Amino acid sequence: MPRTPAEIRELAKNSGVKIVDLRFIDLPGMWQHFSIPVEDLEDDLFSEGIGFDGSSIRGFQQIHESDMILIPDAETAVVDPVLTIPTLNLICDVYDPISQKAYSRDPRHVARKAEAYLKRPGIADISYWGPEAEFYIFNDVRYDQTARSGYYFVDSNEGIWNTGREDGPNLGYKLRHKEGYFPVPPSDQLQDVRSEIMLALQQLGVKVEVHHHEVGTAGQCEIDMRFGTLTRMADNLLNYKYIIRMIAKKHGMTATFMPKPLFGDNGSGMHVHQSLWKGETNVFYDTNGYALLSQTAKYYIGGLLKHAPALLAFAAPTTNSYRRLVPGYEAPVNLAYSQRNRSAACRIPVYSTSPKAKRIEFRCPDPSANPYLCFPALLLAGLDGIQNRIDPGDPLDRLV
């Protein structure tokens, strides 16, 4: 990846870039952007920044203090793989033009502060994060709310409710509720779409480990990114959402990260895998521990479980999030930990016995969360558990 303005200009020149798109995150977690001509890609953009109206961004400034500055992060420069006009994307940090300091309400700044704080207690040097953000791809989405009526309607060519639809012809291959996990095409009608998404993500430098159809009928999918450091993983998740939505739209479909778009079928979670490392050592691993977990990892889990009610404000921030957190759909409904039980808030994957693979999975978050706030909240809750030696209790390895 480019690291200097000169390297970025060289990338832009070699790629035929015409437009530079500057992106930043608002408080609820949506990407915002504006664009400049590539000719304005000068050194001072990366030192002095460019102004914008902070009072028009949710959760930022009031109108009497509206002027704010964006400063691009040079290491995030990528050529957009889906826009028609060649465009260079840059993720930016928000700064106050008076103090010249990073803006306290910029979620990306919060993520950076959390990574810096991790090093202070001496527990670990770095944290790794692997969110599994599920989503649905629909063929039609309609909704309205008026003074005298309200409705929502979603549809998918895969939906089991379309077995009797006159498609001219209807070729079948509809997935029954909760039977969408791993059927091959033609039942899985989104194989090529997901593959196209994966290839586009790779062009952005986002490593993808696997993609597949998920449990829900009507186009539920999952594409798993390779783990990364906290702020970079949050960057990747925003790129992930952007690419999925754009490629779905290209195919005349729409992607949603709404936690529970369908009644009576699985919701879309964002299980967050996390581990702490000191040098080359995974501090969560112990060959003699439960599920190969160290005592440090168990205390980390204790912190997550103790602070779970507060954490959900960041991890499951919408009212719809709580439509998902109900029994019967593989969602976490028990405030406990376990080495295979997917109904527990914390699961410890046991696919591998390698020290490098040992991690914990917090299953409560969903993809409506702002990752720049969610990941730091989880990290600090876990660190509190370690520093205060919070006991998570006994594991829940049975059906409840």
In order, the DSSP letters of 233-292 are HHHHHHHHHHHHHHHHHHTT-EEE--S--STTS----EEEEEEEEETTEETTB-TTSGGG
Residue of 93, 196, 222, 235 with catalytic role: 222
Which residues have CB under 8 Å from 247's CB, separation 6+?
82, 193, 196, 197, 200
Task: For residues 52 and 157, state if they share a domain.
Answer: no
Give the residues across from 297 on adjacent strands: none
56 in helix, strand or coil? helix
Q: Which of 57, 86, 102 is the C-terminal boundary of a domain?
A: 102
Task: Give me the pLDDT at residue 157, please.
Answer: 94
CATH of the domain at 241: 3.30.590.10
* 221 and 211 Cβ atoms separated by less than 8 Å: yes
Residue 115 lies in a domain: no
Q: Are residues 62 and 205 in the same domain?
A: no
User: Catalytic residue at 64?
Assistant: no
Which CATH number is 77's domain given? 3.10.20.70
Angle, helices 230-250/107-118, rounded to nearest 10 degrees: 140
Domain assignment present for 199: yes
- 243 HSE (CA, 13 A, CB side): 28
Give 288's Cβ-side CA count (13 Å radius): 1
Same structural domain for residues 163 and 273? Answer: yes
- The owner of tokens 């798109």 is 21
Residue 221 sits in the same domain as residue 81: no
In a domain, 117, yes or no: no
Give me the residue label for tokens 């060519």: 157
What is the full per-residue pLDDT of the chain (400 aa) written as tens digits? 667 888 999 999 999 999 999 999 999 999 999 999 999 999 999 999 999 888 999 888 888 878 889 999 999 999 999 999 999 999 999 999 889 899 999 999 999 999 999 999 889 999 999 999 999 999 999 999 999 999 999 999 999 999 999 888 999 899 999 989 999 999 999 999 999 999 999 999 999 999 999 999 999 999 999 999 999 999 999 999 999 999 999 999 999 999 999 999 999 999 999 999 999 999 999 999 999 999 999 999 999 999 999 999 999 999 999 999 999 888 999 999 998 788 899 999 888 889 899 999 999 999 999 999 999 999 999 999 999 999 999 888 776 6
State the pLDDT at residue 4: 87
The Cα–Cα gap between 248 and 196 comes to 10
Domain check: are 130 and 89 in the same one? no
Paired residues of 346 in beta bridges: 337, 362
The pTM of this model reads 0.94
* Residues with Cβ within 8 Å of residue 198, at least 6 apart in sequence: 208, 211, 223
Query: Is 166 among the catalytic positions?
Result: no
Domain, as residue range, for 146:
126-387
Q: Check: CB of residue 336 under 8 Å from CB of residue 344.
A: yes
Does 370 lie in the same domain as 325?
yes
Q: Is residue 113 part of a domain?
A: no
Per-residue pLDDT, 1: 62
What is the DSSP-derived secondary structure letter of residue 196?
H
Which of the following is catalytic: 7, 10, 40, 53? 53
Check whether residue 208 and residue 288 sit in a common domain.
Answer: yes
Do 50 and 168 fall within a single domain? no
Q: Can you read off the two tokens belonging to residue 45?
A: 């953009």
State residue 350's pLDDT score.
86
Annotated catalytic residue within 196, 224, 361, 366:
361
Which tokens hold the place of 180?
């969408």
Q: Is 53 a catalytic residue?
A: yes
Whether the Cβ atoms of residue 215 and residue 180 lie closer than 8 Å to each other: yes
* The one catalytic residue among 134, 196, 235, 286: 134
Q: Is residue 270 part of a domain?
A: yes
Candidate list 93, 214, 235, 265, residue with the active-site label: 214
Among 102, 118, 151, give the residue marking a domain's end.
102
Residue where one domain finishes, among candidates 102, 117, 145? 102
Would 116 be classed as within a structural domain? Answer: no
Known active-site residue 323: no
Cα separation, 76 vs 169, in Å, equals 47
Within a domain: 194: yes
Q: What is the DSSP string of 305-350?
A: HHTHHHHHHHHS-STTHHHHSSTTSS---EEEEESS-TTEEEE---
Q: Give phi and psi for 368, each to the nearest 5.
A: -80, -10
Catalytic residue among 26, 106, 132, 235: 132
What integer pLDDT is reported at residue 7 of this predicted model? Answer: 92
Q: Out of 23, 271, 307, 347, pick the active-site residue.
A: 271
Q: Is 90 exposed, middle or buried (0-12, 13-18, 19+ CB in 10 A)?
A: buried
On whether both 152 and 229 belong to a single domain, the answer is: yes
Taking a C-beta distance cutoff of 8 angstroms, is the pair 284, 387 a contact?
no
Same domain? 86 vs 130:
no
Q: Catalytic annotation on 342?
A: yes
371 and 289 assigned to the same domain: yes
Query: Looking at residue 376, what is its pLDDT?
Result: 98
Residue 400 included in any domain: no
Is 65 a residue of the active site?
no
- State the DSSP code for 368: T
Contact 340, 232 (CB under 8 A): no
Of the residues 33, 211, 212, 342, which is catalytic? 342
Total tally of structural domains belonging to the chain: 2
DSSP state of 4: S
Do 237 and 381 belong together in one domain? yes
Known catalytic membership, residue 363: yes
Can you give the pLDDT at residue 323? Answer: 95
